[in-house]
Structure 1
Amino acid sequence: MKQINFILDNERFCAGFTTRFGGVSSGAYESLNLGDHVGDEAKNVAKNREILAKLLSVKAKNLKFMRQIHSNRVEIIRNLDDEIAPCDGIITNLKGVVLCVLVADCSPILIVDEMREVVAAIHAGRAGVVGQICTNAVNRMKSEFGSKTQNLKVFVGPNIKGGCYEIGELDLGEFNRYKNDGKFDINAALADEFKELGVKSVKFDEICTHCDERYFSYRRERVTGRFAGFIMAR
């Protein structure tokens, strides 16, 4: 079974999504669990991250994971040894630094500006989408690195049932227009957000994490691991 599904892999950039295969974790976390906050043994998570680093031909310290908090906060990594404040989006123009986003049903979003050689990774769950974390990320790419929206390429990775999250009667304010039968259509909200931003290239993965057992799914299993979206400028 494949450990990684690449969506971009050339001499300048690589990006993709891991599966749950090819790691050392066991039980509910079998096997390539990359999440260190879900109850798995720390040594197994560390080994799994080393496996990912080796697959990407970088050192483990070059993998940058966020402490995700279901927010719309975006941070910039300017140096390899930067300590990342809790957030749900990270951006860098550093070469050889792999930005990682952990998910198990939420939307992992990867953005690349090939012109300015800037990359971003975003964790987009209900709170992040309602808080327009993607707008925050794009605006910071523009203000900090000179990116132009027409040059951005966006990849929305595997998520639950096309991005339709069960939220019941939860009031989403202006985002209630994306609700139907107690489900929030995150993909539709994201598509409109990127359209409003002027981003022309947006690709949505059609894989459903809840349905496809190659991926960890919190809704399917509750106690489970996390797979990762990753992106790097080489």
Structure 2
Amino acid sequence: MKTLTLALAGTALVGALATSAVAGDCSFSGFYLGAQLGAGTTNTEVKGTTDIAAVDVAEKNKFAGTGVVGGLHVGYGKHFPNRFYMGLEAYGNLSGNKETHTTGDSNRKVERNNAFGAKLRPGFVFGNALVYGVVGVESASFKYSASNNDAANTGSNNGRRTGIPVGLGAAFHATDHVILGVEATHTFYNSRTVTLSNAGGSLKFQSQATDFFARASYKW
């Protein structure tokens, strides 16, 4: 949560600087295509029971994996006369978020590999600057794995997870067609349970992700 707070604070600061340096009115209406690059942190809570020496042991721990996140986006936005803005954007990202958490003979691993989704971007235009919110839906590829005591007592769950991203962004016209900006989002993903084979036990993996991007777009 601290990462999200810092990312949102940075985004708000960029937005404040952009709106304080207004150089005429620019329209944000139109189709646009661009790329984003930044950093992301996948925060995961693991809880459940594992079998240690034929005894069920309760487990609860948290860990985070940080890495580079980047991809492409395409969208359309409408800049209304009263400064209100509404946009719809589709995007895809590749992610390097992964971490292995080891305690004694126990290993827990989470990987977030890629994601695609769509989001609404409601906001307000101030001269050549746009400050907006983010809410959408995302599908991300995750790999959860766990092992305990010995190689036979393992489990994994791979596949796509649905997430709800929310966040804040700021952008400004560098030229009539080139738009630069920053965006911070926090995504809540549905949980998955990994069942350990052999001796038994099951663990619930609940993941969230915080991403901070620098963005560049070309608008028609």
TM-score (normalizing by structure 2): 0.26
Structure with the larger strand share: 2
Structure with the larger helix share: 1
TM-score (normalizing by structure 1): 0.25
Max Rg structure? 2
